[in-house]
């Protein structure tokens, strides 16, 4: 495919492995240019407080609009960024932009509890680079209350190196930032590990949230929510797509949801407008249940 586009029947000169390598080399060069050239943007997905249907905060999700390839999903370019070291620049960009947008929203919306923003942290960012200093710098520059900046760390990342992760997370907590355990339920962690990490939120992976008809699913969901609460953590359910999923979550005592039912990832301007509209408590599914 790739070699063919460049040189007709030269395809046969490349073995499949080399084609893949060349393709990711291209992506790497393009990503470096994209970071300079403003092709990388953040979009925001609302996280809803189920007790009154207001917006509690937003998750920042990175987007790359490539001039030729179109939109490249984060699942494709985050690994490339990690391999090449560009994750340092990308990670700082996302933290900085998210905190800057948050500061603007907070200044404009003065009623109710302050909004938070959640930023995803990748493996190399946590394990190899100086994330602590980035967080410190971004908090200082943006002026947001530290606890309203939340870092999302996946369960599988934490389990790659639990000892070291625990130390880093402690340091982040000491700066006052919040921590969410992302994609919970997919990373095969021993549950006993949970008490060693200073998370204040657990995000239940969407594979347990959307009703797939399995009888085990509600049992697992209930156990995760109970466990989180017993450890003093809040729960965000990811990937709520229907009202019936959400009603079930409310009945199980889940505090927050994020999913297409309440909003897809959107521009910072749209997010701001949505937050403005939903500052007042709303008729919630919780109250009609």
Binding site residues, ligand C2E, CB under 6 A? 45, 61-62, 73-75, 78, 94, 120-122, 152, 182-183, 206, 238-239, 241, 258-260, 265
In the list 30, 82, 101, 183, the residue contacting Mg ion (rule: CB under 5 A) is: 183
Pairing of strands 40-49, 70-72: unpaired
> H-type helices in the chain, by residue range?
2-7, 16-37, 74-84, 87-108, 123-127, 131-142, 155-160, 162-174, 206-209, 216-230, 243-251, 268-277, 285-288
Pairing of strands 201-204, 178-184: parallel
Q: Which residues contact 37 (CB under 8 A, 6 or more apart)?
A: none
Q: Three-class SS of residue 125?
A: helix
User: Least distance in Å: CB of 8 to ligand C2E?
Assistant: 35
- 124 contact choice in ligand C2E, Mg ion, none (CB below 5 to 8 Å, kind-dependent): none
Q: How far apart are CA 277 and CA 105, in angstroms?
A: 12
Pattern of binders to Mg ion over 215-244, x per CB under 5 A? Answer: -----------------------x------
In the list 45, 54, 120, 125, the residue contacting Mg ion (rule: CB under 5 A) is: 120
Q: How far apart are CA 164 and CA 156, in angstroms?
A: 14
- 46 contact choice in ligand C2E, Mg ion, none (CB below 5 to 8 Å, kind-dependent): none
Q: Which is nearer to ligand C2E, 43 or 166 (CB)?
A: 43
- 61 contact choice in Mg ion, ligand C2E, none (CB below 5 to 8 Å, kind-dependent): ligand C2E
Q: Convert 199-218 to b/e letters by CB count within 10 Å (16 or more is b).
A: bbbbbbbbebbeeeeeeebe
Residue 152 near Mg ion by CB under 5 A: yes
User: Least distance in Å: CB of 111 to Mg ion?
Assistant: 27
What tokens appear for 234 in the block? 């809040």
In the list 155, 182, 248, 255, the residue contacting Mg ion (rule: CB under 5 A) is: 182
Residue 234 contacts residue 255 (beta carbons within 8 Å): yes
- Give the interface segment with Mg ion, choosing from 14-22, 67-75, 146-154, 278-286 (CB under 5 A): 146-154
Q: Which is nearer to ligand C2E, 144 or 180 (CB)?
A: 180
User: Least distance in Å: CB of 157 to Mg ion?
Assistant: 11
Q: Which is nearer to ligand C2E, 30 or 238 (CB)?
A: 238
Residue 122 near Mg ion by CB under 5 A: no
Q: Token match 């959107």: residue?
A: 266
User: Least distance in Å: CB of 154 to ligand C2E?
Assistant: 6
Binding residues (CB under 5 A) for Mg ion: these are: 120, 152, 182-183, 238
């Amino acid at each position: 495919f790739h070699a063919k586009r460049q040189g007709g029947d030269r395809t046969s000169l490349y073995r499949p492995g080399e084609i893949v390598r060349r393709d990711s080399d291209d992506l790497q060069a393009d990503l470096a240019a994209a970071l300079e050239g403003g092709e990388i943007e953040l979009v925001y997905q609302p996280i809803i407080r189920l007790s009154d249907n207001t917006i509690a905060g937003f998750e920042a999700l990175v987007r790359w609009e490539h001039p030729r390839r179109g939109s490249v999903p984060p699942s494709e370019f985050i690994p490339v960024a990690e391999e090449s070291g560009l994750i340092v620049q990308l990670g700082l960009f996302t933290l900085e932009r998210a905190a800057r947008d948050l500061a603007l929203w907070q200044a404009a919306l003065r009623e109710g509890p302050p909004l938070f923003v959640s930023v995803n942290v990748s493996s190399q960012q946590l394990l190899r680079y100086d994330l602590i200093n980035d967080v410190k710098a971004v908090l200082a520059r943006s002026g947001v209350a530290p606890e309203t900046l939340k870092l999302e760390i996946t369960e599988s990342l934490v389990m790659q190196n639990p000892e070291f992760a625990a130390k880093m997370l402690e340091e982040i907590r000491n700066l006052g930032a919040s921590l969410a355990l992302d994609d919970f339920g997919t990373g095969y962690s021993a549950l006993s590990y949970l008490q060693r990490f200073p998370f204040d939120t657990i995000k239940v992976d969407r594979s347990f949230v959307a009703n797939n008809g399995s009888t085990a699913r509600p049992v697992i969901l209930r156990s995760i929510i109970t466990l989180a609460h017993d450890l003093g953590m809040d729960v965000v359910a990811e990937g709520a797509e229907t009202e019936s999923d959400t009603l079930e979550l409310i009945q199980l005592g889940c505090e927050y949801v994020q999913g297409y039912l309440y909003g897809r990832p959107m521009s910072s301007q749209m997010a701001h407008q949505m937050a403005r509209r939903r500052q007042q408590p709303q008729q919630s599914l919780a109250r009609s249940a």
